[in-house]
Amino acid sequence: MPLPMSQATDMNQLLGVKVEEGRNVTREFIGMEDVEGKQCAHYKVTITTTLANGTQSTGGHHEWFYEPLNTFIRWQPLGYGNAWILRNISQGAQPANLFEIPRDYNAMNIPAGGFMEMLQQSSGRSQSEVQQGVNDANRDAKQETDKLNEIRNNPNQTEQQKIQEALKMLEGIK
C-alpha cells in the first residue's frame, strides 16, 4: 500500500477525519553517547497532541541520532516498551528487487479521504454513519480511560487493589 509521507505523518489525513486539533513536538538534547560504535546525539522527544474532543495526550521517545547516516541508531519509547537498535548497517545501493511488490500481492492505494473513505466504501455506510461510529468509540474510550485514571489516583487503595479493580473493569470492555 503506497502511502505519501504527507498523509502518513498527518493523523487527520491518514484517517480522513479530524481526530487531532494540534500537535507539539519538542526535542531535548541529552548528550553525545556511543551506540553500536557510533557517536550519536541522544535526544528526548516529547509529543503533546490535542485531540478534536479537547483532551490532551502526551508521549514520546528517546532517540540516538547518527548524523552521518541522517537517522537514529537507537529508539526507545518513554515509559514502557522495547528499544529498537539498528545493527550491521552497511551503506550502498540496494538491489532493485527489494522494492518490487511480490507477484501474489495486490497493490492498493489509500483514497484521498483516508481510512474513513475506505470504511465507507467497504461498509456501504454514509460518512455521517461512519463518523458517528468513530465518535461513539472515542467517547467510550475516553470514559474507560477516565475510569482507569480514577482507579489509578485513588489514595485509599493499595497498588494491588488498584490492579485488581482495573482488571475487573477491563473484563467488560469490548
Grid cell of 7 as nine digits = 498523509
At 46, is the pLDDT very low, low, confident or very high (cuts 50, 70, 90)? very high
pLDDT value for 4? 76
Residue-range domain boundaries for the chain: 5-111, 125-171
In the predicted structure, residue 89 carries a pLDDT above the cut 90:
no
List, for residues 129-170, the tens digit of each pLDDT value: 777 777 787 788 778 778 878 888 888 888 888 888 888 877
User: What number is the average pLDDT over the span 4-9?
Assistant: 76
* pLDDT at position 15: 75
Check pLDDT > 60 for residue 71: yes
Of residues 14, 9, 15, 11, the one with CA closest to residue 134: 15
